[in-house]
Structure 1
Amino acid sequence: MGRLLWVAWTALWGCSCAWLRGALAKTVHGGFSSAAAKAGAGQVVAQFQFHGDCALLYVRISNVATAVEKEARLHLFQAQEWLRLQESPQDYSCTEKLSEAQLTLNMNFTEQNLTVSQVPYPVTWYVFYVDKFTCAENYENADSEDVQFEMVLLNPDAEGNPLDHFSAGESGLHEFFFLLVLAYFVAACIYAQSLWQTMKKGGPMHTVLKVLSTVLLLQAASAFANYVHFSRYSKNGVGSPFMGSLAEFCDIVSQMQMLYLLLSLCMGWTVGRMKKSQSKPLQWDSTPTSTAIAVIVVVTQSILLIWEQFEDTNHHSYHSHQNLAGGLLIGSRICLALSLGCGLYQIIRIERSTLKREFYITFTKGCILWFLCHPGFVTVSLMFRDYQREKIITIGVILCQLFSIVLLYQLFVSHSLYWEVSSLSSVTLPLTVASGHKSRHHF
């Protein structure tokens, strides 16, 4: 079931990711269109978070004569100013709205530069194409030739030169992913062999360890793909759209697999306790009810994620959830955390064994951390400025989810070794595998 779900997700998700990744490139190629500018009171070309004294916009056009004839120009608005104008469109005519632009560049040369003046803190700037037809009442030149262009948006680097393709909201992520990949590599060198030997033995925790290992490998692949993407991005402002999309795909698949695992475990334990059956192990993969619930929730989350991919044009792994789909995702994760937490609390409250109670308590911590870290960091990020939010959400969620996986690893590995020789393992340990029994669940 899980594999079929991932295949369906790949087909739908892949259609949107490649195009959206390209839309965020800080080296932008395209055509200035009079028709598009007329339809939207200005053609949106790019957005960027400039910072420093030497931030630069470079534009090169292919047909200067056409641009001069059209009186082509670029208008730059700060995000807050543009949103203010959008909130009350009836108060401003087209001409008045465009006159509010903080910066303007007339395109009458093949190559031109525009230095963006320093502001107290980085803000988002929108770049619009405008010409003499944009605010004209009668536009009859629908077949006019587009002006092909290349635009590069740059921030100052460490030496103050305008060579950095990263906006203020992305700066530092390249270094973070490098350190993350390095940490994964070092951890793999230290622990991979012993973990592999533990998994080869089989035992009561084999299925869980296998799933956790798959999730960890997918997260490591996502981090590496992001690092490669940002490495190329730092050189050309475009990066590698395929690697960027691959990073998101690996991350989302790991999210779905972890969600299915946690839901199956929690539902399996809860259903087993409701039946008051202590004569056999509480095996989550042998409970049809828990499997059905987990599949339904995972499918629902996948639909919301696909919806959000189409809604959020600022395409990156961890969204700030400012649209309806994002809000529903946040709400569903909070509801899942509360419902599973309540179910686990009921088990902990009636459990008499101290050892098993500690097992459930530690698992509950890892489970709650996984579900609430994203909503939590989205909420925390609202206290910071726009350019800081993506970094806070991305770094915070990745580290918290990694800590959650490590916590669950320690829990299941230690209990896998202990319960092999414990008299309790035959009847009470969650996810134990009775003698002669093979797990029927495959990933």
Structure 2
Amino acid sequence: MSCLLTAFTAAVLFSTQAFGKTVTGFFKTEAARQHKGQFITKFMYQGADGLLVCQLDNPSLAAEKESRLLLYPNVEEDWNNLSCSERLSSAQFIISLSQEEHNQTIPQHSSPTVWSAVYADRYTCQDDAVIPSHDDLQFTVLLLNADSAGNPLEHFSAEEAGLQTFYFLLLLAYFVASCIYIKPLYQALRKGGPMHTVLKVLTASLALQACSALCNYIHMARYSRDGIGIQLMRGLAQFWAMAAQVSMLYTLLSLCVSWSLSRGRKPQSRPLQWEQSPASTAVAVCGVVLQGALLLWEQYSASERQHHSHGSLAAILLIALRVTLALLLASVLYQIISTERSTLKRDFYLCFAKGCFLWFLCHPVLVLVSVIFNEHQREKVVTIGVILCQSISMVILYQLFLSRSLYWEVSSLSSVSLPLTMSRNNQRGRY
């Protein structure tokens, strides 16, 4: 597991690319000729008063090259099939770069629209012309939506708007919940019990999700001011989120497989204890490695596309894996429940199944549901929905393993060794 976490850290932190809405770089004549225009960035404008600002370090060189910045709304798939001259002439706005700063107002559309910025100059469509040995043009491009006051100061594009507020509210909920439940949870962890390891993993996974939300909020708070953010925090947020996914997957698979293997052992003095065996460990590790590889692939694909895309091959395979794991858990739990005579134990397994299915199936279901929303809302629906559903899943599992009624009955242990239970001597009525 430590090797896997090390691979996650290296892959996420060192491959993170800066795709902010304040874009800096160089206008390159050779790249513009090779690709029929050098792609700079894209941004989803919404409402009125959208603004694009282009700043140059050497406007005289830009004027000599006849440099232009071309803006295209909603680029179609057949755009790549156009010739060089057709592509340049199809731009809705052509900004001649001859000054230190150029401001271009983006007109309002009926719905949020993706605008692409492409650089071209006098040599872009002249394949036979010799490119002079000039330096590349250094630029800074700012892309701004209007804020609540109608001023173009908002770096968030339409598909990102509202996420900073969501992460703030999520952190606030985590803080309030920790203030209320940290003491009884700490006492439960100190007392131990047959499910002590499960409680520790649940707590660690919840802490990892909170760390991910905190890093995302810090990144977006800076992003809202400069359009770049803190890419280290963005990478850490992705890493903590993947670590939480991996730890929960390993726990749920290990529990289900170990329970199914222990069914044949007689007597069952502790039927619900997490008893790791070579078979259960092998199944859990295989699932963890496969999901970890797909998560890394999905993050890499998202970086290449400058946004998360649920239509990529990695995302589709990840969804298929989660559905397969849900079916595997369903079959294992069905075999356990169908042969269980105790009503309390069946209720325990059914409640555990609800938490598992909510954790694994929320992402595939939300991806399907997001199709009915507009394009700029789909990413937010999936992101917010998955975080909330997985948090609810953790709450269900917490209630299950800390519940005195089911937990005490099905564990076949005395109440003295159970967490969050009432002692007959000096703690009656405490909980």
User: With structure 1 as the length reference, what TM-score do the two structures score?
Assistant: 0.89
1:127 maps to 117
The equivalent of 2:427 in structure 1 is none
Task: Give the residue type in structure 2 aligned to 1:8.
Answer: A
The alpha carbon displacement at 1:320 in A equals 3.5
Distance 2:316 2:411 in 1: 44
1:37 aligns with 2:32: yes
Q: Distance in 2 between matches of 1:285 and 1:109?
A: 71
Q: Does 1:6 align with 2:1?
A: no
Name structure 1 gaps, 5 residues minimum.
433-443
Residues 1:297 and 2:291 aligned together: no
Q: Which residue is equivalent to 1:84?
A: 78
- Distance across 2 between alignment mates of 1:423 and 1:324: 43
Letter in 2 for 1:341: A
Aligned partner of 2:180 among 171, 180, 190? 190
Cα distance per residue 1:153-173 (max 9 Å; x no partner): 000000100011110111101
Q: 1:336 to 1:326 in 2, by over 3 A?
A: same
Question: Paired residue for 1:435?
Answer: none
Q: Could you tell me how far apart the structure 1 residues matched to 2:31 and 2:51 are?
A: 25
Could you report, residue by residue, the CA deviation over 1:250-292 in whole angstroms, capped at 9, with x for unpaired residues? 111011111111111111122223x354445344442110101
Corresponding residue for residue 360 of structure 2: 371
Equivalent runs, 1:42-191 vs 2, <5 Å: 42-79=37-74, 81-86=75-80, 89=81, 92-141=82-131, 143-191=133-181
Structure 1 residue runs of 4 or more that deviate by more than 3 Å after TM superposition: 275-285, 417-420
Pairing partner for 2:397 from 408, 414, 420: 408
Aligned pairs for 1:177-256 (under 5 A) are: 177-256=167-246
Summarize the alignment of residues 409-424 of structure 1 with structure 2, pairs less than 5 Å apart.
409-415=398-404, 419=407, 422=409
Write the distance in 1 (CA, Å) between the matches of 2:299 and 2:42: 19
Alpha-carbon deviations, 1:159-215, whole Å to 9, x = none?
100011110111101111111111111111110011101110001111100000000
The answer (yes or no) to whether the contact 1:16–1:309 under 8 Å persists in 2 is: no
More off after superposition, 289-298 vs 302-311: 302-311
Change (3 A) 1:70 1:277: farther
Is the 2:400–2:407 Cα contact (8 Å) retained in structure 1?
no
SS at match of 1:28: strand
Give, in whole Å, the separation in 2 of the partners of 1:285 and 1:267: 9
Q: Which residue of 2 aligns with 1:359?
A: 348
Cα distance in 2 between the residues matched to 1:253 and 1:111:
44
1:16 aligned residue: 15
Q: Distance in 2 between matches of 1:389 and 1:139?
A: 45
Q: Equivalent residue of 1:286, what SS?
A: coil
Matched-pair contact (CA < 8 Å) for 2:362–2:389: yes
SS of the aligned residue for 2:71 comes to strand
TM-score for both structures, normalised by structure 2: 0.92
Say whether the 8 Å CA contact 1:168–1:387 is kept in structure 2: yes
**Mean CA deviation greater in 384-393 or 178-187:** 384-393
Alignment equivalent of 2:322, drawn from 333, 339, 353: 333
Percent identical across equivalent pairs?
47
* Maintained 8 Å contact 2:28/2:137: yes
- Cα 1:64/1:423, change in 2 over 3 Å: closer
Letter of the aligned partner of 2:9 in structure 1?
T
Q: 2:412 aligns with which of 425, 430, 435?
A: 425
CA contact (8 A) 1:54 1:162 kept: yes
User: Which deviations, in whole Å up to 9, do the C-alpha atoms of 1:63-94 show, x marking residues without a partner?
Assistant: 11111111111111123x342323xx1xx311
Q: Aligned equivalents of 1:170 and 1:424: distance in 2?
A: 46
The alpha-carbon distance between structure 1 residues 168 and 257, as it changes in their structure 2 partners (threshold 3 A), is: same
Distance 1:248 1:423 in 2: 38
The 8 Å contact of residues 320 and 389 in structure 1, kept in 2 or not, is answered as no
Number of aligned positions between the proteins: 415
How much does 1:309 deviate?
2.2
In 2, the alpha carbon distance for the partners of 1:281 and 1:143 equals: 78
What RMSD over aligned residues (CA atoms) do the two structures have, in Å?
2.1
Q: Structure 1 285/321 Cα, relative in aligned 2: closer, same or farther at 3 Å?
A: farther
The one of 20, 23, 41 equivalent to 1:25 is 20
Change (3 A) 1:380 1:314: farther
